[in-house]
Amino acid sequence: MILGTGIDLIEAARIRASHEKFGERFLQRILRPAEIACCISHKDPAPFLAARFAAKGAVSKAFGTGIGAQLGWQDMEVGRKESGEPFVILHDGGQKLLQERGGRIVHLSLSHTEGHATAMAILEG
């Protein structure tokens, strides 16, 4: 059963500007170490950073909370299977919300171009 859905769209230029202005501090605020390593391994990390930013926004919308007190940036992580398929790893507040909502899994789809990144999340019970 679908318990919630979320979608988010972000401009890569916005994330690029934040990364250039705040550097590592910005990355560590919104991403976990494995996500940072994955994104900065690309020649232009901005679209990949933006995709993860959008993913976390979409997941927070699927839970119905947005990003804040119940679900923070570090409570969610985007992993990648060998096939390249993204998946969601929930930590701390994310795990707590999953249990409270009666969820079983969060499905995730990402897409990005040079200019935009989008993500869709489905919370399944």
Distance CA 102, CA 96 (A): 10
Q: Which residues contact 119 (CB under 8 A, 6 or more apart)?
A: 7, 8, 51, 54, 55, 57, 58, 59, 108, 109, 110, 111
Among the options 42, 61, 91, 96, which is catalytic? 61
Position 54: which residue type?
Answer: A
Is residue 43 annotated as part of the catalytic site, yes or no?
A: no
Among the options 21, 107, 112, 116, which is catalytic? 112
Q: Which residues contact 69 (CB under 8 A, 6 or more apart)?
A: none
Is residue 19 annotated as part of the catalytic site, yes or no?
A: no
Active-site residue numbers?
61, 112
